A and B are shown apart, each in its own frame.
Chain A
Amino acid sequence: MREMTLTDLDRLSAATVEVEKTLEMDEDAFRVFYDRTARPLWAYLSRIVGPAHPVEDLLQETYYRFLRSGAVHESDDHRRRYLFRIATNLAHDAYRRRRPAVDPAQMNRATDPGDPGSAGEADRAARRVDLSRALAKLKPRQRELLWLAYAQGSSHEEIAQILGLKTGSIKLLLFRARRRLALLLGEPNKVGQ
């Protein structure tokens, strides 16, 4: 290993200063923010991209881009919506790179609860599998709309900011997506085909 020169030391020192200046928040603030957002973000990514994509990589990339963004946030909610906006854009990049057919069988394995103990649990497990199969049949945008609205309880305004759409168009898009999903959920024999 070669010895470090003064030039190398200056370069590393400059790099450290650059890192401190370019990250969005300090480590303590990040930990608090991460603890509040990581699970919802994981759930969102795993359901909209499906098991064909490595969700952990997308999660890491999302937080990295958020930390490096340098964006100014009005509130914590605004910060959170910005995080999900980054995640959505990364999910779209992942679709374009791989373009896998979202295999209902894969979605089924991803949500397979194993051996349910009681009849109630079996019923819930069956409904989860049906939902996954139905989601696999939808377009990515429809999955995003439905998840944000009904799983996360986001308002139309929040959904519009996350997905980069006009607020006025969310209601109609959501209605159509929901109708399509309801039709798929109502056809258990056809969904898995």
Chain B
Amino acid sequence: MKECSREDEVLDMLQSGGRRGMEMALVEHLESCQNCAELARVVRAFRQDCEQARDNARIPSAGVVWWRASIRARADATRVVDQPMTIAQAVSAVAVVALGSALAGLAWESFPPLPPLPISLLLVLAIAVCLLVAPLALVLALVRE
């Protein structure tokens, strides 16, 4: 089936109710044009369904929707306001750990030389210290008063 050149006219009539004279001419066209008859059937079905859907819509009141949106926006804003503080606390904790490690390294150099230890053992010791100290520092930094 091909489109009809009068389809837009038919659609306008169905959706707005055109002038009576035009309507009669289009009604005659609908009887002869399969494409426009199909369009009319579909549009009428949709308009009836739309009317029913709108009548039966169970919408909340504007006040309820506004209130819920405000509450949620306030909660989101509070999270946004708190976020820089949490990030600053985490950065501070990491800085403290890094500074402590650097000072420990400098202090280590002042000790008398020890027998050389395997590098792997040194790495394991360094990682163990970080794993123990860093979480503790983060917890202490993030605990609220």
Contacts and interface: CB of A to CB of B under 8 A. Distances in A.
Interface of A: 5, 11-12, 14-16, 18-19, 22-23, 27, 30-31, 34-35, 38-40, 42-43, 46-47, 56, 59-60, 63-64, 67-68, 111, 113, 124, 127-128, 130-132, 146-147, 150-153, 175, 178-179, 181-182, 185
Interface string B58-71: 11101101101110
Given A39-B57, A175-B3, A60 B50 contact: no
Contacts of B72: 64
B46 A147 contact: yes
Contacts of A178: 38-39, 42
User: Would you call the interface of chain A mostly helix, strand, loop, or mixed?
Assistant: helix
A34 B68 CA distance: 14
| 7 nearest A-B pairs in the assembled complex, by CB-CB distance | A18-B77, A43-B53, A151-B50, A42-B57, A150-B46, A34-B62, A151-B46
Nearest to A38: B59
A181 B45 CA distance: 11
Given A38-B59, A175-B3, A153 B81 contact: no
Interface of B: 1, 3, 15-16, 38-39, 41-43, 45-50, 52-54, 57-60, 62-63, 65-66, 68-70, 72-74, 76-78, 80-82, 145
A46 B68 CA distance: 21
A11 B42 contact: no
Contacts of A56: 58-60
A43 B57 contact: yes
Given A23-B70, A27-B66, A179-B1, A132 B42 contact: no
A84 B66 CA distance: 18
Contact of B48 (A30, A68, A124, A185): A124
A34 B65 contact: yes
Contact of B78 (A11, A47, A131): A11
A187 B16 CA distance: 29
Contact of B69 (A5, A23, A47, A113): A23
A152 B42 contact: no
Nearest to A172: B3
A22 B73 CA distance: 8
Contacts of B66: 27, 30-31, 34
Contacts of A18: 73-74, 77, 80-81
A151 B57 contact: no
